[in-house]
Structures are given as structure tokens and as C-alpha cells.
Homo-oligomer: A and B are copies of this chain.
Amino acid sequence: MKISIAQLNYHIGNFDGNVAKMLNAVKQAKAEKSDIIVFSELCTCGYPPRDFLEFDDFIKLGEKAIRRLAKAAKGIAIVVGSPSRNPVIEGKDLFNSAYFLADGKVKHVSHKALLPTYDIFDEYRYFEPASEFKVVEYKGKRIALTVCEDIWNVGNENPMYTVCPLDELMPQKPDFILNLSASPFSYDHAADRIHTLKANVKRYGLPMFYVNHCGAQTEVIFDGGSIVMSPNGKVHDELPYFEEVVKTYELDEVVKGKTTAVQSKDKMTLIHDALLTGLRDYFGKLGLKKAILGLSGGIDSAVTAVLAQRALGAENVRVILMPSQFSSDHSINDARQLAQNINVQYDIIYIEDIYEQYMSTLKPHFAGTSFNITEENIQARIRGMLLMAMSNKFGNIVLNTSNKSEAAVGYGTLYGDMAGGLSVIGDLYKMEVYALAEYINKDGEVIPQNTITKPPSAELRPDQKDSDSLPSYEELDEVLFQYIEKQQGPKEIIKMGFDKKLVARVLRLVNISEFKRYQTSPMLRVSNKAFGMGRRMPIVGKYLS
């Protein structure tokens, strides 16, 4: 028996586009004389469809997609993820289902039992969990159909769940396991995934075909990395990251257990490639081409510019240098040098005249006050506004250049440097931005060395340095990581050896800056706890604040 897996880049709500792509894959699989082709979770509608699932019209389009695919399921079986309706009045209206299509019809539908409802996931908001488990028989084989999270509770060791779907299916003696996934990227997820698949295969002694999405949906990035695993726990094949691939396997070969080398899981390589995917798909799926960003001479905008140039092409990226009276010469030179290195159009717009006009207009209202953060913010906001004006006039989308450390402690100006349609490096702590800059420069200087080595500064008043108002990024980033990614409280973090006052201050800054993050653009997610849809915090609260 031959089994094909299709790792594709879907588009939420674009049923026609998704089905067309899938029909192409079916064609290829047929040409390769495959018996079964397996797609991913909820691939007719894209993942995550979010509240579109509450529209009957949207569900009908999913049903129509299934009918179209069923028609193509002749001479080949098609396994595809799509929402299905719960016929029982009690419980949620929908299931998150795996359809088995054969002989031009729907032969079987299995439902997802373990519904992730944490971080960016809201599945219990929409779906009823499966309560029945049944293998599908096809061409003399018994097939265990599972959907994503279903295989992440090996032997009931995941404390979140009380059911283990494969344990339920085993008495029916399946021959192999299919898993339809929509498992988002984070820089350590590819390794986790192989670990989990191995644990399953070890427990059940069956070959496994794991099919993931690739591509990005706004901030959520899918890396693909679909896996065919042999019953002995060896990776028979791992599909490339961030690429569409349809590939066919001989089941007997998979059962034999030959190992193929798995791909590098180097953190910066993965993050770099994930961010390019995130950028490309944000623009591509919105029908946009051109980006614009402010280049300050600092590390954050430099890294963002290079990523944009690599993802969208130099001809689609435009950068603006917006010096003020507080900008140092080296900043302008470093920014210009970078623009030249990556061959993107750059313009210089001096903001001093506009700044002076604001000051003059505000003078009667500001009488008796002195220069403070207000004037700093005005500069940042003039820059944000100029970028938005260029964006409005020429159609380039503004890329936000903030990093995760800044976003965490609120070191940024709303509507100023926090403006933009998409935050490219908003899920990278400052030290990770440096590491990514080094990675970018690995084959030669792209980002000027001076941008990497000089002390970070917002340059909003004379001789300002980030270190004037923030602890060192080495220390700050570690405290933030413990609080944000590891959900450690103040006591635990202090126990790790950090200064009590520092911890209290940093955690307080994070909590009181929630109102700023609430109003920022989506941030491409590369960690397993990014700001945005996966971290939901009250604005009005009094916890550690």
C-alpha cells in the first residue's frame, strides 16, 4: 500500500483556493499510484478559523469543499480535516473532524477528542470532543485516524486530559496511525514533536504518518516538518520546514524502519526561516507586496529590514531614516550603510521642523512645564505618523520593529515606534535579536558591525542609553523569560538568584504595560508564549502592580 502525505500552506476562509491546491496534490498522488493521500487538520478552511466557525455560512462552505474532494476520491482515498456538525443537540455544535473519503463518497468521519484550549488555542470554544473511537477499514488495512492533539497524551501522561484516544483505538487492532495536525511553530517545537511521535510509536509499535500545515496565518506560523515514523521509532522521513511538499511512501518500506537524517533544529536558523514565512504569508495572503519601515541605525530595525528584504525582495522594501536633533551621526551612517548593503530604497526625512511646529503649537498649553517623556513621545509619534503617511500614499505596509523585551516592559511609544501592521521581531527578546543579527551576518557583514556593538539607545534626548532606565538586557531577558514563558512568580524568580527589587520592578512593568500591548499589531510567534492571542491578561488589575 502506498500512502501520500500533503504538507500544504492553506489560507483561512479561502475554500476555493485550498481545495484547488488539494486537488493538485491528489493528482500528483494518483500519478504516483498512491492508495491514500493524507492532508492536515481543518485544511479546507485553514487554521485557526476562530469565530468564523460560528457562521453557518462558513460551515456550509466547508461541507461543500468536502463534497468536491469526495468527488475526486476515486481510485484513491483522501483523508482531510474539516469541521463537521454535531447532530446531537446537546454539546457544542461542531466537531473538529478527519474525513475519510473513498469511492467518491464520505466513507468515515472521526472526531478530535483532545481539544487544546490554552495559549493560542480555543478549540473548546467551538468543538465538542469525540466520545467514540473507531478505526477505518480500507483495502484490507485498519487505520487509526487521529487529529493533532489526540496523540499528545501518550499513555495519559499529559495532565490536561483524561482520555487517550489511541489507547481507545488499540483494541480494534489498527495497522497504522494517521495524524492530521495544525501544530504551530515555536523554536523548540520540532524537537518536541519527534519526541512525542517516538513515544507513541514506542507504545503502540505501529507506523505513523503525521501531516502538518506549513505557512503562516497572521501571527501563527506553521513549520510543516511532517513526519513518517517507523514502528521501531526511527524517523523514516521528515518533510522540509516551511515548504509545501507532497510525497508518497510505500507502507512496507516504512514498516522496515530505515532512518533518514532529520533536519537541523538550530534555534536561529528556525527563527530566521519562520519569520521569513510569517512576513511572506502576511503580505501574500492579504494580497499585499510592499513594506516600509523606519531605520534608526539600531539593531531592531536593522534586523527587521533584512528579514523584510529577504522575505519580500529588495524591490518591495522601502526604509525611511528619520533623524532628529538627538540622533547621532553614527546612527544615520549605520542606517544608510545597511540600506545600501541590502539594496533597498531609502529616504531621509528630518523630523526637527515638525517637532518644532508641535512645540510651538503646544507652547501656550505647555507653559511652565519642562522637557520630559512627552517630548520624547512626540518624536517617536512623528516618525510613526510619517511612516503611516508614506504607507497611505504608496501602499507600503508599515512593519513594526519592536522587540519582546521592550514590549514586555512598555519601553516604547504607542502610535509611535509601536505602530505598524505587523510586528516582525516582537517575539524575540533583545538578546535573541542580537543572536539573530549574528546569524544574519554569518556569511559576511549585512548588518553593520557598529549597529551590533554600540550600546542600545532610543536617541530621544541627548546621550540617552537604554541602560539609563532599564537593567542590562542579559538580566532583564532572563527575568522576563521566567515570568512570561515559564509562568514563575516573584518568589520563584528571586529564589533563582535575582535581586528582589529588580524582580518586583520588572514584573510590575510587565503588568502595567498591558494597555500598551493591547493596542499593538500582531507579533509573529516563534516562542511558546508570545504576546497577543496566546497570553490573555487583564488591563485593569492589581496583581504585582
Binding site for B on A (CB under 8 A): 11-14, 17, 46, 48-52, 54-58, 61, 89-93, 117-118, 122, 124-125, 156, 159-162, 216-218, 281-282, 285-286, 347, 349-351, 353-354, 357-358, 360-362, 365-366, 369, 372-374, 377-378, 381-382, 384-386, 388-390, 392-393, 414-415, 419, 421, 487, 489-492, 515, 518-522, 533, 535-545
Task: Say whether A538 contacts B159, CB under 8 Å.
Answer: no
Residue of B nearest to A374 (CB): B392
Task: Say whether B349 contacts A353, CB under 8 Å.
Answer: no
Task: Say whether B162 contacts A543, CB under 8 Å.
Answer: no
Task: Say whether B161 contacts A91, CB under 8 Å.
Answer: yes
A530 CB, nearest partner CB in chain B, Å: 13
A347 in complex: contacting residue of B61, B365, B491, CB < 8 Å: B365
Task: Say whether A52 contacts B543, CB under 8 Å.
Answer: yes
A481 CB, nearest partner CB in chain B, Å: 15
A412 CB, nearest partner CB in chain B, Å: 13
* A51 to B347 Cα, complex, angstroms: 43
Task: Say whether B12 contacts A542, CB under 8 Å.
Answer: yes
| Extra A-B contacts (7), CB below 8 Å, given A358-B389, A384-B415 | A92-B160, A93-B159, A374-B389, A377-B388, A414-B419, A515-B521, A533-B536
A281 in complex: contacting residue of B50, B161, B389, B540, CB < 8 Å: B540
* A339 to B386 Cα, complex, angstroms: 32
Residue of B nearest to A13 (CB): B543
Contacts of A377 in B (CB 8 A): 388-389, 392
A283 CB, nearest partner CB in chain B, Å: 9
Task: Say whether B518 contacts A521, CB under 8 Å.
Answer: yes
Contacts of A518 in B (CB 8 A): 521-522
Q: Known: A57-B489, A490-B57, A491-B57. Is A12-B361 also a contact (CB below 8 A)?
A: no
A47 CB, nearest partner CB in chain B, Å: 10
* A161 to B88 Cα, complex, angstroms: 11
Contacts of A365 in B (CB 8 A): 347, 349, 390, 393
A12 in complex: contacting residue of B17, B118, B543, CB < 8 Å: B543
Q: Known: A118-B125, A487-B55. Is A49-B538 also a contact (CB below 8 A)?
A: yes
* A48 to B381 Cα, complex, angstroms: 33
Residue of B nearest to A378 (CB): B389
Residue of B nearest to A533 (CB): B536
Contacts of A373 in B (CB 8 A): 392
* A389 to B491 Cα, complex, angstroms: 38
A130 CB, nearest partner CB in chain B, Å: 14
Contacts of A58 in B (CB 8 A): 489, 543
Task: Say whether A362 contacts B385, CB under 8 Å.
Answer: no
Contacts of A388 in B (CB 8 A): 377, 381, 414-415
* A351 to B419 Cα, complex, angstroms: 22
Contacts of A541 in B (CB 8 A): 11-14, 46, 49, 52, 217, 285
A187 CB, nearest partner CB in chain B, Å: 21
* A117 to B161 Cα, complex, angstroms: 17
Q: Known: A521-B519, A543-B52. Is A360-B366 also a contact (CB below 8 A)?
A: no
Q: Known: A91-B160, A519-B519, A520-B519. Is A358-B362 also a contact (CB below 8 A)?
A: no
Residue of B nearest to A12 (CB): B541
* A393 to B11 Cα, complex, angstroms: 45
A378 in complex: contacting residue of B378, B385, B537, CB < 8 Å: B385
A190 CB, nearest partner CB in chain B, Å: 23
Give the most central of A117, A392, A542: most B CB within 10 Å. A542
Give the most central of A358, A490, A522, A540: most B CB within 10 Å. A540
Q: Known: A93-B159, A217-B538. Is A369-B393 also a contact (CB below 8 A)?
A: yes
* A381 to B540 Cα, complex, angstroms: 27
